[in-house]
Structure 1
């Protein structure tokens, strides 16, 4: 691949001369293009915010696996984490699950006793960028001679090799395999998700050793970056080379951590150049031939161009020239069908990639865009880039430049809030919906002390934040389980219980406070219940706060503009959780003594027939779960009724109806309708109650306590 590097150097040297003599036209178009990209969120503030929050998600994803003793780490890669995307590009979300029970070695000195050792083999029988994994003994640094099961294969040399079909055990209903990835697609309200299962290798791959010694024209990547990259090791993912005769035995070497490091060290012009390449790909090529050129190829071309160009060449006023350089380099790659992997150059990403009838179209398209002096960019509909650029050229400015960055900020923060709720749901699932309070307390205490504190004491800021928000969620449940035990045995709650509840009180705007209010309500302490409900209502700003539910996937509506604005303004986003988000209020079966009677029915929502319609992650259906806002008004209705404040009771009932009708992102609207129906029954409005239950069944036909309420109501009406 040395000829490829020489060609790039010649091209970039020629382009360097052009950059030093940039025309007024190119200068002006570049600046306007930079301004447009700034307005659609490709700017330094949003880039840093996106990376910061995506890395926080990475830690949040990892916590449940560590707390549940699965030796797995989760990494977030791709455009969403690199911040090289826009809303219009609709990039999917890439997660790599690193299964850490294996010790993959490149040298016998790295062998460890008592673990699953695998020797990475990179010889002449293996495709560039791939390897074989030989099974080793765990009691001595020697090869394993026995084929244990169908996951292993003895080759002609007598080596026992691990097959990459091992990933098949991870298949789940609703997921499709694309290469090494399992994909969840077209789930309403969430990004398409690509999950890659990988095995970690602490050593730097032998095939990439030469890269560590190379030096780019502009000193990029720097020596410090290379030193860091060499310490990250690599992953091996379960897919073989398409043209290989050993396809089931080969594992692809992934240098994703190194690539992420490189992308994090790009300047904003280089990031914008990559985004433009992806927009061009989406507009002109992928729409007709989606499998021809990948965004990873565009990234690889960009990295080669950066490494062979002086760093001062990448400026806002040279963006168009830089883009032209990348497109012409990509043209040469397609023409010669050679695109060397940036880290492992012997791995040609374009080998046997193009069908004969596709290649001329791609070449003509790239030539057209590269030679258009930016005019072809006016045809890009993605994020209305072409329209925005045309308006800039005509001196028109009618689009609010903060609209998209604030929208992106709100989406990023909502994603993090959903992750916090999802982590809590996964941890609570470990209780196996047990009514055994001591066993549940032991489990939650172990999670709290043994693992979460590990994150609180971590050196990395993101780890501390993730540990803190996870601990607050656990504290709510710990305190509530203790309260359930206290109420059952003593009729009141202990100071220890109040202490745990206080730690989780401000986990968000409302759920911690409403759990405390529920406890006092079940103790028949109406005055304190009323006081807490009032305080919660004052904190719950209806113009800002967003409901957050991670129990199931549903299509989320647009977030409030004030929510987006605050998300954009704040750089320490984790502090926003307690000010602008409202998590669901969750009661486990063992918390039944501090759950209002009307809500307890939700723990018994499923008939034997309904169980067949549950999915793998529907264990929450054995809990009582309700959105904060309708539950707030339900508790208010009940307390005002007990205190004989009839006007306040009517207001609470009206607010409950309004919340069910108007609150866009309720995850448990059917449960809110069930509570409203019971309130209507207490108001002797049987017809309205029945209407509520029927509406609830329309929302969730199966696993819905509304059917139980309908039976009870009809029985009451018939007998009276």
Structure 2
């Protein structure tokens, strides 16, 4: 991702410079105008800066209320919801459950600096980069049963904590959320997926606190254009966690744990500017609508790392509405290289290769490299292959704007209801559906759905079930 190359942008305006010999002036103007139009459409679809920040604030407030009286575990909204990048039903809800009275330490940290009532594990990082094995260093009189059941003896007198056994224990726990129609799905990676009510998909991940300052300090010490020193320091203070999943290619993967920076990465994504965030979202659309991996050979996490590397290595003035297509193409080229070489360095720990053991066979590798090459040669027209954006482009501006406002209002009502339910639980220790605020939210939600259905009928759509309208609007 060098600073020269395709459509190199002006450092002050973010525009493609007029002296570029790659394109005629007419085509440069066309690319810039399409970029600006796509930025506007993405905002109307709910991916603008204000909506992103509003989502992040609401999910954080819900987490705060839910965790106010929890003693043993902290629940954290993670993934695209924590980053404000998806609508309510657009993707899975990622939930992180962090055990409070367990901590894992890298070599060199003094055990006696940790309170006596905290169970301590020592990290052995002499495995694949970004992973570790956990040795029990100090027991406590009080312990989690699922932790106790996942302990193993390695035959040398050491007690190890098995990631695969802990995941099995976690996924077999009964559901205490009070939700109806909870269906447990097959575990994937470190997560225990569930489907609630037949439509809400959640990925639940159990995690352990981790102190690994050397890893974070190496990350913080890199020369960079982004983020600012203040944000770098904040990411360092947010620390790390361990999740129960080993390196796919390791014979000891059932004992290994992965080092993650969920909170820090969410902070980084929330500090991407408007163009960077929209490039990330469009790349995810391309994977979903065009590449279509069936076994998660390419994940949105890889795309996130591409965008984070873009942001770090380039001056922020180069990212503007005029240059969105430039950075989209730059991201596609990086993805093509990652697939061709099966190599993508992890943004936080570059020694870890996100593409290693990803499961891409030679046939898929050749196909996806060719597909991305075709997209790059297609230029701005590739945007029309993305269903959500294409519908927004071909739709009439006034109905589109009206629908966009209704869709965002509906999502806001959903998140306000989620927040109010958490408040009721915090204030009354139970959910009271006679709550005036909650019922006002439900009433307005019904009004919005009826308004949308009525307009759809007037325009010739045969849709009558409000649940169908609701699902379509929140996807």
* TM-score of the alignment, normalized to the shorter chain, above 0.5: yes
> What is the CA distance between 1:90 and its match in structure 2?
2.0
Superposition deviation, residue 510 in structure 1: 8.2
* Equivalent residues of 2:216, 2:236 under 8 A apart: no
Q: Structure 1 residues 100, 307: closer, same or farther in 2, change over 3 A?
A: same
What do residues 631-685 of structure 1 show as CA deviations (whole Å, max 9, x unaligned)?
xxxxxxxxxxxxxxxxxxxxxxxxxxxxxxx9978xxxxxxxxxxxxxxxxxxxx
Q: Find the counterpart in structure 2 of residue 191 from structure 1.
A: 200
Deviations 1:388-434 (A, max 9, x none): 3356xxxx52433142343233234324424643x5xxxxxxxxxxx
Match of 2:308 in 1: 303
Following superposition, the deviation at residue 317 of structure 1 comes to 1.1
Q: What TM-score, normalized to structure 1?
A: 0.54
Q: For the Cα contact (< 8 Å) 2:129–2:351, is it kept in 1? A: yes
Which residue of structure 2 lines up, in the alignment, with residue 13 of structure 1? 4
Helix, strand or coil for the counterpart of 2:138? coil
Shift in Å, 1:332:
1.0
Query: What is the match of residue 22 of structure 2?
Result: none
Partner residue in 1 for 2:407:
407
Take 1:231 and 1:314, find their aligned partners in 2: how far apart are those partners?
A: 28
Question: For the structure 1 residues 196 and 564, does the alpha-carbon distance in structure 2 shift closer, same or farther, using more than 3 Å as the test?
Answer: farther
CA contact (8 A) 2:135 2:160 kept: yes
Q: Per-residue CA shift, 1:223-263, capped at 9, x if unaligned?
A: 21121111111110111111112112101111111101100
Counterpart position of 1:594: none
RMSD of equivalent CA atoms: 3.1
Q: Match for 1:271 among 277, 283, 286? A: 277
- Whole-Å separation in 1 of the counterparts to 2:375 and 2:295: 18
Aligned-partner Cα distance in 2 for 1:199–1:50: 26
Q: CA 1:182–1:547 in structure 2 vs 1: closer, same or farther (change >3 Å)? A: farther
Mapped contact 1:39–1:402 kept (Cα < 8 A):
no
Work out the CA distance in 1 between the residues paired with 2:101 and 2:331: 41
CA gap of 1:564–1:269, structure 2 versus 1, over 3 A, is farther
Please name the residue that 1:182 is paired with: 192
Classify 1:180/1:205 alpha carbon distance in 2 versus 1 (closer, same or farther; 3 Å).
Answer: farther
Aligned position for 2:442:
546
Aligned residue in 2 for 1:74: 75
In proportion to residue count, which structure has more helix?
1
Note if contact 1:16-1:309 (Cα within 8 Å) is conserved in structure 2.
no
CA contact (8 A) 2:97 2:207 kept: yes
| Alignment match, 1:211 | 219
Q: Could you tell me which of 304, 313, 325 is aligned with 1:320?
A: 325
**1:257 and 1:301, CA in 2 relative to 1: closer, same or farther beyond 3 A?**
same
CA distance in 2, matches of 1:416, 1:72: 24
Q: How many Å separate the matches in 1 of 2:78 and 2:356?
A: 24
Within 1, Cα distance between the matches of 2:335 and 2:437?
A: 51
Determine which structure has more spread, i.e. the larger CA radius of gyration.
Answer: 1
Alpha-carbon distance change, 562 to 363 in structure 1, aligned in 2, over 3 angstroms: closer
Post-superposition offset of 1:277: 0.4
Query: What SS does the corresponding residue of 1:178 show, helix, strand or coil?
Result: coil
Aligned pairs for 1:692-707 (under 5 A) are none
- What is the CA deviation profile of residues 433-474 of structure 1, one whole-angstrom value per residue up to 9, with x for unaligned ones? xxxxxxxxxxxxxxxxxxxxxxxxxxxxxxxxx4xx545445
> Following TM superposition, by how much is the alpha carbon of 1:33 offset from its aligned partner in structure 2, in angstroms?
0.7
Give the structure 2 partner of residue 151 of structure 1: 150
Q: Indicate yes or no: 2:141 matched with 1:136.
A: no
Q: Secondary structure at the match of 1:560?
A: helix
2:447 corresponds to which residue?
560
2:266 aligns to what SS in structure 1?
Answer: helix
Deviations 1:474-523 (A, max 9, x none): 5998xxxxxxxxxxxxxxxxxxxxxxxxxx99x42588xxxxxxxxxxxx
- The answer for the alignment partner of 1:380 in structure 2 is 386
State the match for 1:389 in structure 2. Answer: 393
CA contact (8 A) 1:41 1:405 kept: no
Q: 1:115 aligns with which of 103, 109, 118?
A: 118
Which structure would you say has the larger RCO, counting Cα contacts within 8 Å and 6 or more residues apart? Answer: 2
Residue 349 of structure 2 is aligned to residue 371 of structure 1: no
Rate the CA distance shift 1:169–1:154 in 2: closer, same or farther, 3 A. closer
Pairing 1:646-665 to 2, within 5 Å after superposition: none
Distance change in 2, residues 1:509/1:300 (3 Å): closer
Q: 1:290, CA displacement in angstroms?
A: 4.5
Please state how far the C-alpha of 1:197 moved relative to its aligned partner.
0.5
- Any unmatched runs of 5+ in structure 2? 10-14, 19-27, 141-146, 175-182, 453-463, 468-475
**1:187-207 deviation line (CA, Å, top 9, x unaligned):** 33x431000000112x23544
In structure 2, the partner of 1:591 is none
CA contact (8 A) 1:57 1:416 kept: no
1:260 matched residue in structure 2: 266
1:136 match: secondary structure: strand
Deviations 1:569-626 (A, max 9, x none): xxxxxxxxxxxxxxxxxxxxxxxxxxxxxxxxxxxxxxxxxxxxxxxxxxxxxxxxxx
Measured at CA, do residues 563 and 409 of structure 1 come closer, stay the same or move farther in structure 2, by a change above 3 Å?
Answer: farther
Offset of 1:163 from its aligned partner? 0.8
| Residues 608-647 of structure 1 mapped to structure 2, 5 A cutoff | none
Deviations 1:111-142 (A, max 9, x none): 4324311112212xx11111111101348xxx
3-state DSSP class of the match of 1:13? Answer: coil
Distance 1:80 1:30, change over 3 A: same
Cα distance in 1 for residues equivalent to 2:208 and 2:426: 29
Q: Does 1:58 align with 2:66?
A: no
Asked if the contact 2:78/2:94 (under 8 Å) is kept, the reply is yes
Q: Quick check: 1:61–1:419 contact (8 Å CA) kept in 2?
A: no
Query: Is residue 410–residue 563 contact of structure 1 (8 Å, CA) maintained in 2?
Result: no
Distance 1:215 1:195, change over 3 A: same
Give 1:208 shift: 4.5
Counterpart of 1:715 in structure 2 is none
DSSP-derived class of the 2:250 partner: coil
